[in-house]
């Protein structure tokens, strides 16, 4: 890796695709936690070990872009699907290709999913919401007691800034969860996504509420 270069390339010299601006590090370390197979610590900043190859690796690279504190992970490639994802997430500024900016913001606030069958029988949306409450409390987050609507979970990871997510049964152990739009929406969507994957949920489809176009669904929030 050329340490004097403004842009880091991967160790095997690939320069197309994802890259890191090397002169802006705040040592957030987030990419290494999210995608240790792709990122590692260099001398003055994290660096990209190699380009993502699988869809799951691309998902994690995009999440690392979203979470990096200095917006220092950029994309120099021309994969239209990645440019669309960045543009729709409001992140066209990290794409070198100006086509990313042509995609309007598209908030995927709703996820549908299927949970593995458990021996105790079918679960309700209220039970799913309570499982999520317990899990988030165990992770140290502030979770409000259930109010009138037991299907909605209010949680906060910073002071008393609560965000909400509402669960709904769609039948046959399929559920949906809708995250409240606004500040913190994508952060909470990632929390829900992590929880679903830790529970072995399948058929995870993120989409904008009311939009059933299969071309607009993703397996991750952005
Ligand atoms: S993502 Fe940016 S701020 Fe975070 S460790 Fe890597 S170079 Fe530093």
pLDDT (tens digit per residue) in 74-125: 999 999 999 999 999 999 999 999 999 999 999 999 999 998 877 666 689 9
Digit-coded pLDDT (tens) for 20-58: 987 888 999 999 999 999 999 988 899 999 999 999 999
E strand map for 124-182: 142-143, 152-156, 163-171, 174-179
CA–centroid distance, residue 7 to ligand 1 (Å): 12
**CA-nearest residue, atom 6 of ligand 1:** 46
Question: Is residue 113 within a helix (H) or strand (E), and if so which, with residue range?
Answer: strand 110-114
Query: Which atom, in ligand 1's list, is nearest to the CA of 68?
Result: 1
φ/ψ region of 13 (left if φ > 0, alpha if ψ in -120 to 50, else beta) reads left
**CA-based end-to-end distance of the chain:** 29
CA–centroid distance, residue 13 to ligand 1 (Å): 20
* Tokens 């949920």 belong to residue: 201
pLDDT band at 141 (very low <50, low <70, confident <90, very high): very high
The whole-chain average pLDDT of the chain stands at: 89
Count CB neighbours of 222 within 10 A: 22
Look up residue 3 and give its two tokens: 């340490």
How high is the pLDDT of residue 143?
94
Contact 142, 156 (CB under 8 A): yes
Of 66 and 5, the one with more pLDDT = 66
* Distance, CA of 94 to CA of 74 (rounded, Å): 5
Binding pocket residue ranges, ligand 1, CB within 6 Å: 20, 25-31, 45-46, 68-70, 72-73
Look up residue 12 and give its two tokens: 């095997």
| 8-22, 69-83, 130-144, range with the lowest pLDDT | 8-22
Best probe residue, ligand 1, of 25, 41, 62 (max atoms within 8 Å of C-beta) = 25
How high is the pLDDT of residue 160?
81
CA–centroid distance, residue 66 to ligand 1 (Å): 11
pTM for this structure?
0.87
Mapped onto helix, strand or coil, the DSSP state of residue 185 is helix
Look up residue 76 and give its two tokens: 């120099």
Best probe residue, ligand 1, of 9, 23, 31, 62 (max atoms within 8 Å of C-beta) = 31
**CA-nearest residue, atom 4 of ligand 1:** 28
* Distance, CA of 149 to CA of 152 (rounded, Å): 6
């Amino acid at each position: 890796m050329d340490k004097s270069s403004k842009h880091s390339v991967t160790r095997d010299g690939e320069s197309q695709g994802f890259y890191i601006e090397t002169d802006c590090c705040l040592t957030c370390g987030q990419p290494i936690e999210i995608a240790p197979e792709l990122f590692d610590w260099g001398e003055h900043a994290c660096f990209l070990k190699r380009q993502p190859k699988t869809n799951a690796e691309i998902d994690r690279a995009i999440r690392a872009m979203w979470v990096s504190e200095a917006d220092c992970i950029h994309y120099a490639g021309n994969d239209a699907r990645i440019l669309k994802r960045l543009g729709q997430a409001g992140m066209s500024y990290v794409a070198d290709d100006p086509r990313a900016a042509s995609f309007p913001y598209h908030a995927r606030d709703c996820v549908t999913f299927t949970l593995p069958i458990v021996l105790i029988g079918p679960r309700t949306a209220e039970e799913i919401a309570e499982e999520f409450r317990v899990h988030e409390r165990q992770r140290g987050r502030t979770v409000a007691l259930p109010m009138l609507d037991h299907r909605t979970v209010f949680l906060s990871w910073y002071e008393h800034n609560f965000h909400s997510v509402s669960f709904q049964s769609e039948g046959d152990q399929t559920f949906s969860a809708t995250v409240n739009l606004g500040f913190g929406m994508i952060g909470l969507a990632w929390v829900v996504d992590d929880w679903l994957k830790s529970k072995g949920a399948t058929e995870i489809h993120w989409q904008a509420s009311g939009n059933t176009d299969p071309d607009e669904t993703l397996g991750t929030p952005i």
